[in-house]
Amino acid sequence: MSKHPIQNYQILKVIGKGAFAIVYQGQHLKTKEIVAIKQISTDMQEGPHKNKMLELFNQEIQIMKSIKHQNIVQLKEVQYTSDSINMILEYCALGDLEKYIKKNSAKNRLPENEAKPIILQLLDAMKILRLKNVVHRDLKLANILINEQMQIKLGDFGFAKSVTTDLLESYCGTPITMAPEILKKYDNYDHKCDIWSLGIMIYQILYGQPPFVSKKGTVTDLINEIEKQNINFPEQLGISSECVDLIRKMLVEDPKKRASFEDIFRHPWCLTEVIDLRKSILQTYVPQHQEFMVNLSFTVQQQISQLVSISRLIQSIENKYQEFAEYCVNFRSVLSNAFSSVQLNITYSNQKVCIKPENFKYFNYQQELLIFLANLYETAIQSKNNNILDFLDLGVQDYQISNYFSILYEEYTVTLLEEMKNLKLSQEKNKGKALTQIEDTRGLNKFVKSDLNTLIELIKDRFKNY
């Protein structure tokens, strides 16, 4: 047990040992919260070695303090004593990913559909590191932890470094996952060393072993194997071509030709959000879906009611202006079909599940209105009349309508998949709560709305004196 007392915490047992630290399971004396306590002894001989160790630990503390993310182990507090540094960390009851896979898979690997939710969570953690300009430098399965909610947590930032320049110097990490530029002791390297390590880990998770193995057990021999670039992708395991393509792009020996994080985040395999929860080791169950279905039905009814109102407004003046009639009919037809299908994004435990029918078509009201008004504008110019202003006076540009919704759950139930397939709109329009419309993260709607406003101002200015 620890010889260094820790204020407000009881040490329960040792759960890990490293070269420079011991990790304990601990419990807060008042709240009874279970935590992990990483204890670093500073009771060592003075000199460059001690100074370097203290520098690394303080660097780890500062980096972890600066990063708050649901897929990164949380640093709760730090206690200093005369002969130790104690990092109070979030406890991950299911241990590390390496041991978890060994325990739960006879073949020491996971099928792609089970591995994907894990890998996507890990990529989420890497996104925040990239935004913070932090290079981890010791990515390996043993540093990926799992909590009781089956949430992935990236930990052990002992070798991590904040990048204030483009390049790093120093030899650190674990050889089997270490990038070749570090193994070869190049003078400098950058964040792409983490991309290599991530590629090695993804391969390990899917194939049960590293892609490059030293037959002689030496770093020199490992480098030789990497230089051959002879990566084996056994077809009988059924890994998708998109996933293989992603791994190949991550495991390019030359860091200049290796995929960047931005490339990875945009890769088709990483953008796919549909997860088969019935086969996923990360599936959870919750009885909330009945309430949710009421809310979804209520929300769709609200949106349809708005579309009906808009359609009636258009029709009210449609018959007055024959030159615009064709476009009015087409626009009202588009509105009537807007909710022929609905897409739903569910976020739970930092995973995203996308539920949509095969024939789903995203309905972008702002885009459709822009097309409609542009056609009217062209016709109005040709006929030289200002009747188009009557359409602007309807105020149809003020509506916000979408068939693309989101819901946040702490947990998620597979049965919702079947409920969605057979969605029937409730007639009880006054019951339920409105769901959130998905934000357009790519900013497309922002530009559409800007174009729409520009067109409206152009129409008003053009026909104000007619």
Confirm whether 138 is a catalytic residue: yes
Q: Tell me how far apart the alpha carbons of residues 427 and 301 are, in angstroms, rounded to a whole number.
A: 8
- Please say whether the beta carbons of 42 and 85 come within 8 A: yes
Q: Tell me how far apart the alpha carbons of residues 151 and 365 are, in angstroms, rounded to a whole number.
A: 37
- Please say whether the beta carbons of 268 and 200 come within 8 A: no
Residue 279 phi, psi dihedral angles, 5° rounding: -110, -5
Identify each DSSP E strand in 271-348 by its residue range: 343-348
* Strand 404-409 with 343-348, pairing: parallel
Identify each DSSP E strand in 42-178 by its residue range: 75-81, 84-90, 134-135, 144-146, 152-154, 161-162
Can you list the alpha helix ranges (DSSP code H) found in 141-191? 180-183
Residue 12's SS3 state is: strand
- Please say whether the beta carbons of 463 and 388 come within 8 A: yes
Identify the CA nearest to 121 among candidates 281, 357, 278.
281
Round to the nearest angstrom and report the end-to-end CA distance of the chain: 89
CA atoms within 13 A on the CB side of 408: 4
Residue 345's SS3 state is: strand
235's tokens: 């077809």
Give binding residues for ATP as ranges. 38
Structure-derived torsion over alpha carbons of residues 437, 443, 446, 451, reported in degrees to the nearest 10? -130
Give binding residues as ranges. 38
Identify the CA nearest to 287 among candidates 373, 409, 166, 165.
409
User: Which amino acid would we find at residue 432?
Assistant: G
- Please say whether the beta carbons of 211 and 252 come within 8 A: no
The active-site residue, picked from 124, 138, 156, 194, is 138
Catalytic positions are 138
